[in-house]
Amino acid sequence: MSSMTRINRFLASAGLGSRRKCEDLVRNGAVSVNGNEVVDLSVKVDVDKDVVTVGGKRVMPPGKTRIFVLNKPAGVLCSVSDDRNRRTVIDFAVEKGCDKRLFPIGRLDMYTSGIILLTDDGELSYRLTHPRFKIDKIYVVVVGGEVADADIDKIASGIDLDGQMTQPCRIVLLERNSGESIMEVTLREGKNRQIRRSFMKFGYKVKSLHRKALGELEFRDLAEGDIRALTAEEEEILRRQTGLSQGVGK
């Protein structure tokens, strides 16, 4: 792509859908360039300088690192592909109009819903998944039965799971009754199925598990199944948390 290109071609190349779909976005007033609404399909943008937004969300040009956030439904795998042909987050993202050359940052198990990032930025992925960068991952967990305070304290302090000690975590009890207990759990590590296995060790079954936030970012606008690119502000926060704050869309 040359530095100057028509707005609909830019949007299509950035993964927002077919050329015709992108033309409709422009005609419907959803597109702005440098803060100014654009409805003329003849408008050209400088992919190296201009800031293009759709519905208020910044669109990154192809060739730049991109970061998307997905509110993953339960039942979708956090992997690039699956030899059993089960639906993956990449399949899901492509169906929603995103580029298939992405990969998930970290994992949520198949039956866990919530926030997962997809990117083509390997260094950011490494920093977000490595414990030494201390990025909080915040979950809401619904457990069958009335979980005892003593068991909550033990899990929060760190327990042995198959010969490995978990790191201390933060657990806040939100609601408890005879039928279930609802808690907010904050982790800085991500052992395989750690939350489910921790409660199971004390005889409790996790009924549902949802990741609501990563560090300072909660993405409250995302309904289940929604996916979008990070805003410039969100990407800056993410890079600052991981020590990669070098400006957005490097």
The first and second tokens of residue 59, run together, are: 């669109």
Give ∠ CA 55-106-223 in degrees, rounded to 5: 35
Could you say which of 46, 99, 109, 136 is catalytic? 109
Please say if 109 is a catalytic residue: yes
The catalytic residues are 109
